């Protein structure tokens, strides 16, 4: 059984959602970043962490792609042109979509106060908007980014859309808005939320 360390309210949700999509059994160990149980598994103190067969894996994107490859679902096979295009969209999601959201979050509550710049939120919003225009040009006719198949970058983009909504970034309407609605309505996401309620300490 997979063991997931982290909290559903942060990037840990990507791994929980992924495991629900795959129908794989897992256990969530609720743990905040930088706590001893995380630092002993990930020197940067970040979550999520996944333990598979006692082996520790870090970084949500790498974990999700590993799970997709291992289970042979939600991914094009490695070494194919389709996979290269899929990985390109994953990288775009990390750099341009998550990058804008993470910049805003770091300067709101992650960095030590003396290193925060409050006005950076305007820059983050500008970058997020720019990323949304690029995404519109990258999407297929749907229902998902590469057509009928729901793949790893769809899940990551759906997670970023939820993150953006929670952080009060404006989500686009039109084709991208409709795409986000489809991804965020996945039953596996609803199951990941329902099955991993963590009481506030
Ligand atoms: N590249 C990592 C980033 C992980 C990350 O930054 N996680 C946040 C929670 S969403 C965290 O642990 N932050 C604590 C910190 O930055 O000190 C991933 O995708 O898993």
Tens of pLDDT, residue by residue over 79-127, are: 999 999 999 999 999 999 999 999 999 999 999 999 999 999 999 999 9
> Coil, strand, or helix at residue 26?
strand
**Residues composing the chain:** 201
Q: How far is the CA of 11 from the centre of ligand 1 (A)?
A: 7
Atom 11 (ligand 1): residue with closest C-alpha? Answer: 46
Pocket test for ligand 1, best of 4, 13, 33 (most atoms within 8 A of CB): 33
Atom 5 (ligand 1): residue with closest C-alpha? Answer: 46
Per-residue DSSP letters for 116-133?
--TTHHHHHHHHHHHHHH
Q: How far is the CA of 120 from the centre of ligand 1 (A)?
A: 19
Tens of pLDDT, residue by residue over 12-31, are: 999 999 999 999 999 999 99
Tens of pLDDT, residue by residue over 63-74, are: 999 999 999 999
Helices (H), the chain: 12-22, 36-39, 60-71, 81-92, 99-105, 120-138, 152-166, 174-184, 187-194
Torsion of CA 165, 170, 172, 176, to 10 degrees: -30
- pLDDT category, 128, cuts 50, 70, 90? very high
Q: What is the pLDDT of residue 201?
A: 67
């Amino acid at each position: 059984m997979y063991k997931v360390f982290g909290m559903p309210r942060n990037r840990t949700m990507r791994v929980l959602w992924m495991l629900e999509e795959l129908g794989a059994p897992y256990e969530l160990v609720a743990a905040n970043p930088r706590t001893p149980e995380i630092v002993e598994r990930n020197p940067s103190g970040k979550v999520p962490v996944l333990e598979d067969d006692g082996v520790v894996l870090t970084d949500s994107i790498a974990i999700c792609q590993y799970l997709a490859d291992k289970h042979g679902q939600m991914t094009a096979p490695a070494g194919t042109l389709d996979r290269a295009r899929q990985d390109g969209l994953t990288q775009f999601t990390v750099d341009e979509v998550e990058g804008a959201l993470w910049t805003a979050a770091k300067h709101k509550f992650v960095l030590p106060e003396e290193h925060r710049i409050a006005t950076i939120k305007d820059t983050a919003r500008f970058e997020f908007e720019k990323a949304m225009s690029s995404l519109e040009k990258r999407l297929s006719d749907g229902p998902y980014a590469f057509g009928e198949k729901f793949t790893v970058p769809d899940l990551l983009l759906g997670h970023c859309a939820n993150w953006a909504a929670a952080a009060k970034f404006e989500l686009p309407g039109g084709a991208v808005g409709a795409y986000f609605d489809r991804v965020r309505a996945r039953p596996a996401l609803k199951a990941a939320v329902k099955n991993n309620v963590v009481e506030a300490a």
